[in-house]
């Protein structure tokens, strides 16, 4: 087997020959699977990744206090502190770009709902709203409504292309779910799914772990794997072919996400930004979110663990935290910026290390599940490209209107289905009351097909009192 000998030689050269330890025990089918796994590895790159990742792990204890500065005022838009007329201008510019089919959405949907006790892709999760809509369903309908709003405003119909990044584990069920639900009313051709990459799992000495005798242990390469996947899966080419110039990128698990937010898009276009971040004001100094700031003059996200308590507690003259721009995985990119990352800077992205309990095949050939961390997983973070931006801006949005994460089971009491549901109810009740209606109770849901962000409700709710639970739908939409 010439192929086998070449594989064996390549593994030995890079210190990974143990991957063939059980070769003689494998069936022909198992051997083929193992060779396929090994063939997907760039062994020199894998070796370099481990060395880079572990060296950055050694540096990760460094505190960045002396190198940090807050976001520049001229690169910062606060939605709550802005003139409504100016926001309207940004909103209208965003609608023009949408009507011209210049806007796409990049949804990071590789995660499973494991922590929610849900054995499916997280986007399929239903938090228990009156409509019983899943996260995917709600976001799809927001896209649909926004296309209609743009068409009404501009007088021409455009499309928002929805790019959905799955993982190996979520691709097939996600595709099936969209097919079964008839793409939630969107055009199938405008939904493009692609798979993020994976990286091997290592022991602490840099040896790649075996998950089974014939399978390498792998894990998704993090949301920062987006950039390589866009390049290698042909998505950058697809963006350019469709004429998409601007992308709104976000994770699947924020139920309040303003998908393809026209104000965000419009502001970034007006500012000629190539990269941007939405942030929320940190609730308190010790809130466990990273902050968007400048380090040595370049924008990045600094984790709470990377600064001292003293710096975390610094305040401006108005009493607000000095470093208060909480990162919420909500970003704007131009297509040209993403092309630049893919062709030039992707290989420079920082590698982050997580020590994990990783199932492995031990010396005797038995598959073990360890009770303490036995190896590392390497991942990249989506925000690590900020430093490469030429024109970076930040938009601060009201937390109660735009950010409610879904990460935990209800038993945790925070960032769970109960809090996501309560946040939707609170916001939608506010929409009804702002439009002149009143609500007796708290359970209020408004279909995205009726209103994207509280607009257009006056003729339906003004002067009326609603008894909960309230579920307002668009004409022709089933309850």
Distance between CA atoms of residues 401 and 388, nearest Å: 30
Residue 59 pLDDT grade (very low, low, confident, very high; cuts 50, 70, 90): low
Token pair in block for residue 77: 């838009």
Residues 256-273 have a mean pLDDT of 98
Give the Å distances, CA to CA, from 230 to 114, 115, 358, 397, 415.
Answer: 26, 27, 28, 28, 29
Q: Which residue has the tokens 């540096």?
A: 59
Token pair in block for residue 104: 């796409």
Could you give the 3-state DSSP secondary structure of residue 440? strand
pTM: 0.94
Q: Is the pLDDT of residue 29 over 60?
A: yes
* Contact (Cβ atoms closer than 8 angstroms) between residue 418 and residue 410: yes
Residues 167-196 have a mean pLDDT of 97
| pLDDT score for 2 | 45
Q: For the chain, what is the radius of gyration of the CA atoms?
A: 24
421: Cα separation from own chain's centroid: 20
Convert 111-125 into a string of H (helix), E (strand) and C (coil): CECHHHCCCCEHHHC
Residue 403 pLDDT grade (very low, low, confident, very high; cuts 50, 70, 90): very high
| pLDDT score for 54 | 84
User: Taking all residues of the chain, what is their mean pLDDT, rounded to a whole number?
Assistant: 94
Q: Is the pLDDT of residue 360 over 60?
A: yes
Model confidence pLDDT, tens digit, residues 108-150: 999 999 889 999 999 999 999 999 999 999 999 999 999 999 9
Closest to 284 measured CA to CA, from 395, 393, 383, 399: 399
Residue 101 pLDDT grade (very low, low, confident, very high; cuts 50, 70, 90): very high
| pLDDT score for 411 | 92
Q: Which distant-in-sequence residues (6+ apart) come within 8 Å of 134 by Cβ?
A: 123, 124, 125, 126
Exposure letters 101-127 (e unless 16+ CB within 10 A, then b)? bbbbbbbbbbbbbeebeeebbbbbbbb
Q: Is the pLDDT of residue 361 over 60?
A: yes
Q: Is the pLDDT of residue 175 over 70?
A: yes
Q: Is the pLDDT of residue 91 over 90?
A: yes
Q: Which distant-in-sequence residues (6+ apart) come within 8 Å of 182 by Cβ?
A: none
Distance between CA atoms of residues 219 and 199, nearest Å: 6
Per cent of the chain over pLDDT 90 is: 88
E strands in 9-82: 68-69, 76-78
Distance between CA atoms of residues 166 and 233, nearest Å: 12
């Amino acid at each position: 087997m010439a192929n086998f000998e070449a594989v064996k030689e390549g593994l030995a050269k890079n210190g990974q020959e143990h991957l063939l330890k059980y070769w003689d025990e494998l069936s022909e089918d198992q051997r083929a699977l193992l060779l396929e796994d090994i063939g997907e590895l760039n062994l020199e790159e894998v070796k370099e990744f481990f060395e880079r990742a572990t060296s950055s792990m050694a540096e990760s204890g460094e505190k960045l206090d002396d190198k940090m500065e807050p976001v520049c005022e001229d690169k910062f838009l606060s939605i709550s502190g802005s003139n409504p007329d100016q926001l309207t201008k940004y909103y209208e510019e965003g609608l023009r770009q949408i009507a011209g089919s210049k806007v796409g959405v990049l949804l990071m949907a590789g995660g499973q709902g494991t922590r929610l006790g849900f054995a499916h892709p997280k986007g399929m999760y239903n938090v228990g709203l009156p409509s019983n809509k899943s996260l995917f369903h709600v976001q799809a309908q927001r896209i649909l409504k926004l296309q209609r709003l743009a068409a009404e405003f501009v007088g021409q119909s455009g499309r928002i292309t929805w790019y959905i990044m799955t993982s190996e584990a979520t691709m097939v069920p996600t595709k099936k779910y969209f097919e079964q639900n008839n793409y939630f009313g969107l055009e199938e051709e405008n939904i493009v799914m692609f798979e993020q990459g994976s990286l091997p799992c290592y022991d602490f000495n840099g040896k790649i772990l075996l998950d089974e005798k014939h399978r390498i242990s792998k894990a998704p390469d993090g949301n920062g794997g987006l950039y390589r996947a866009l390049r290698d899966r042909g998505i950058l080419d697809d963006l350019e072919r469709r004429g998409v110039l601007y992308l709104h990128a976000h994770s699947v698990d924020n139920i309040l996400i303003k998908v393809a937010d026209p104000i965000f898009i419009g502001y970034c276009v007006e500012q000629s930004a190539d990269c941007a971040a939405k942030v929320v004001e940190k609730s308190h100094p010790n809130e466990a979110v990273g902050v968007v700031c400048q380090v040595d003059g370049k924008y990045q996200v600094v984790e709470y663990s990377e600064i001292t308590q003293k710096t975390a507690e610094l305040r401006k003259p108005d009493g607000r935290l000095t470093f208060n721009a909480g990162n919420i995985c909500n970003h704007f990119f131009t297509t040209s910026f993403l092309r630049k990352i893919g062709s030039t800077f992707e290989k420079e992205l920082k590698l982050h290390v997580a020590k994990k309990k990783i199932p492995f095949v031990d010396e005797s050939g038995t598959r073990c599940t360890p009770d303490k961390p036995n190896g590392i997983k390497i991942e990249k973070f989506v925000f690590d490209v900020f430093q490469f931006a030429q024109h970076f801006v930040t938009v601060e949005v009201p937390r109660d209107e735009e950010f409610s994460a879904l990460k935990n089971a209800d038993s945790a009491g925070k960032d769970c289905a109960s809090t996501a549901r309560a946040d939707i109810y609170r916001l939608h009740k506010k929409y009804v009351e702002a439009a002149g209606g009143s609500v007796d109770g708290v359970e209020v849901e408004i279909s995205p097909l009726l209103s994207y962000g509280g607009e257009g409700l006056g003729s339906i709710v003004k002067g009326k009192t609603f008894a909960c639970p309230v579920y307002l739908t668009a004409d022709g939409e089933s309850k």
